[in-house]
Amino acid sequence: MGEKIPPVKGTRDVLPTDTYLKKDDPWVRTGHLQLIEQAARDIFPLYGYREARTPILERTALFARGIGDATDIVSKEMYTFEDRDGTQVTMRPEGTASLVRAYVEHAVQQQGGETKWWYAGPMFRHERQQRGRYRQFTQIGVEALGSTGPRIDAEQIEMLDRWLRFLAVPFEMHVNTLGDARCRPAYRTALQEYLRANADRLCEDCKKRTETNPIRVLDCKNPRCQEVAAGAPRMESYLCDECKAHFDGLRESLTRLGVAHLVDPKLVRGLDYYTRTTYEAIATSGLGSQSTVAGGGRYDGLVRELGGGDVAGIGFAAGVERLALLVAQAGREKEERPVVFLAPLGAAEEARADVLAKHLREAGIAAEVSFRGSNAANQLKRANALGARFALVVGELELSSGRAKLKELRTGEQHEVDLARLPDEVKRLAQNTPPSAA
Ligand code: ATP
Ligand code: MG
């Protein structure tokens, strides 16, 4: 027998059921992921966002330039290798740079107006594995290109708010502004001076960040760095008039749209390309220290940086695994129940049941047919375990008469049905007595 091959560190399997898994930690199942994705598929198009799919492999230069060399992602987290033809490629650590690359590549700007795209897929970062932090994880994100805001910023934040509320996860929406190329440099310098003066109280990483990416020190998780950050100069007092008007406009729009939000001066986001609006949805319970479920912001310089025109943009990305942990705790899951369980009692009955199942599926009704010849009681137990709504026992009598009893498992109610018209009979009964859970 061959040796078991373990999965790669930081990757995980998501299975349909948790029967084999420990019960104390809420285990994420495929149903949770489907609920999250389906809600995005339903809600985002209401705001004009359409799905885009870009490759997992990109040239390394895209992220080095797009995200910035000084960021944690580019400096130490990327899965980068040389392709067989010598090209440096990276498994994407995030989606924005790729979507902007596609936007530039296909000259989408020429179509005019706003472009709103959403995406979903795996991202890869070589990070220390923790609860809610993996090396392969999934993001669902959106990008709106072509508008300088702030109304479109507020529209996007309201959409995120709606999606998270639909999923019933507990969260708070934090917003901030980072200024722009005009006012941020002065702030950066003031912050840097303050951090240098307090260098002895900073962690090793933040000592380096002080020189390379000082704003990132503000969201270091180390408690001593947080103390230093609490006394740091604030962007607010350095904002130029335009950036201040943008932020005021954002807050007014959010209030008009009824989006509860908190101004959080320490919300800076890790990537270099952000300007003005930044925002995060932070879980208020259930995730421990990895509590940010979605982060977003405006990136007015990115399209130009990646070879396109002067096009403003704003987007967010949500961590699907973190959302799924919350959805699992809330006990929500997409219902996926086999509607009819067929329990044949002998060989001839099995042959008939296989064909009946085919007819049901042709009519769009989910059907499971038992492959284990056992008595009716055991088969009904299995139907219950599967969460089937109806069970149909097919024995000798049913075979000869062409009629059978369709049992509603939740109530025990029995309905006599004509096997030749089974799909119609099931549809009629399913309509008459809707199951309570669905
Ligand atoms: P963090 O501060 O938690 O590292 P980040 O700033 O690196 O977050 P983003 O790049 O903004 O995160 O990604 C957006 C969202 O994607 C995060 O809010 C989080 O929910 C999720 N995410 C990021 N990295 C991981 C990871 N390694 N594993 C699981 N989810 C992640
Ligand atoms: Mg990170």
Q: pLDDT digit string (tens) for 102-131?
A: 999 999 999 988 999 999 999 999 999 888
Q: Is pLDDT at 47 greater than 80 in this prediction? A: yes
pLDDT higher than 80, residue 217: yes
pLDDT digits (tens, 9 = 90+) for 74-85: 989 999 999 999
- Least-confidence region, from 245-249, 310-314, 354-358, 407-411: 407-411
**Residue of 215, 222, 292 to test ligand 1 pocket, by largest number of atoms within 8 Å of CB:** 292
The predicted model gives 217-236 an average pLDDT of: 91
Strands (E), 299-351: 313-319, 340-344
What is the SS3 assignment for 91?
A: strand
Beta-sheet strand order (sheet of 367-369): 367-369, 340-344, 390-394, 403-408, 414-418
- In the block, which residue shows the tokens 């008595």? 375
Output the pLDDT for position 300. 92
Residues 153-176 have pLDDT tens digits of 999 999 999 999 999 999 999 999
Residue nearest to atom 7 of ligand 1 (CA): 270
Taking the alpha carbons at both ends of the chain, their separation in whole angstroms is: 45
Stretch 60-69: mean pLDDT, rounded?
92
Q: Where are the beta strands (DSSP E) in 289-422?
A: 292-298, 313-319, 340-344, 367-369, 390-394, 403-408, 414-418
pLDDT of residue 19: 54
pLDDT at residue 438 above 70? no
The token duo for 105 is: 């590549």
**Residue 345 CA, ligand 2 centroid: distance in Å:** 57
Residue with the bigger pLDDT between 22 and 68: it is 68
Which pLDDT score is estimated for 433?
Answer: 56
Whether the CB-CB separation of 351 and 312 falls below 8 Å is answered with no
94 lines ligand 1 (CB under 6 A): yes
Task: Tell me which ligand sits closest to the C-alpha of residue 94.
Answer: 1
Q: What is the model's pTM?
A: 0.89
Of residues 295, 43, 12, the one with CA closest to residue 167: 43
Tell whether the model's pLDDT for residue 356 goes beyond 50.
Answer: yes
Three-state secondary structure call for residue 366: coil
Q: Is the pLDDT of residue 215 over 80?
A: yes
Asked whether 153 lines ligand 1 (CB < 6 A), one says no
How many residues would you count in the chain? 438
The residue whose C-alpha atom lies closest to atom 22 belonging to ligand 1 is: 319
Question: Cα of 323 to ligand 1 centre, how many Å?
Answer: 11
Report, as an integer, the average pLDDT of 254-272: 89
Where does residue 432 rank: exposed (0-12), middle (13-18), buried (19+ CB within 10 A)?
exposed
The proportion of the chain whose per-residue pLDDT surpasses 70, expressed as a percent, equals 95
Query: How much of the chain is in helix, strand and coil states, percent to nearest 5?
Result: 40, 20, 35
pLDDT at 269: 77
Residue pair 126/2 in contact by the 8 Å Cβ criterion: no
Report the mean per-residue pLDDT for the chain: 92
Q: Which ligand is nearest the CA of 281, by number? A: 1
| Alpha-carbon span 142 to 316, nearest angstrom | 6
Name which residue sits closest to atom 25 of ligand 1, judged by CA: 133
Say if ligand 1 is within 6 A of residue 293 CB. yes
pLDDT, position 420: 96
pLDDT, position 26: 66
Write the residue with the smallest CA distance to atom 24 of ligand 1: 133
Instruction: Specify whether the CB–CB gap between 152 and 246 falls below 8 A.
Output: no
Q: How far is 413 from 426, CA to CA, in rounded Å?
A: 14
Q: Is the pLDDT of residue 1 over 90?
A: no
Cα(93) to centroid(ligand 2), Å: 10
The string of DSSP codes covering 189-210 is HHHHHHHHHTGGGS-HHHHHHH
